[in-house]
Amino acid sequence: MASGDWMKNPEWLANAGHFLAGASVLLVASLFTRSAAWLGGVEASLFSLVIIKEYVVDLRYESGEDVRSSTVDALGYLAGNLVAIGLVWLAWR
């Protein structure tokens, strides 16, 4: 893949967007609290919303969506969120 080609591929851009969204939710939430319990509630809410968005809304209303693409999208959120958890943990140490 030549330099800049990843920006021409909508799947790569979608993966980057899902990763950044997953990371942003937790990083922004952590700015308002140092409570692990409160952030756990944010995590549970994000998980629920991602499942509903990817497996109910997208599969029902988006053309060309299948279970594989919804799973890849959900894993993008999860990967971004895991990176954010690591960053928050390091900041709170």
pLDDT digits 0-9 by tens, 8-47:
778 888 889 999 999 999 999 999 988 889 999 998 999 9
Exposure string for 5-40, b = 16+ CB within 10 A, e = fewer: eeeeeeeeeebeebbbbbbebbbebbeeeeeeeebe
Q: Report if pTM > 0.85.
A: no
Q: What is the largest CA-CA distance in the chain?
A: 45
Q: What percent of the chain has pLDDT over 70?
A: 92
Inter-residue contact 34 to 92 (CB < 8 Å): yes
> What residue segments make up the domains of the chain, in order of their start?
10-92
Q: Which amino acid is located at 86 in the chain?
A: G
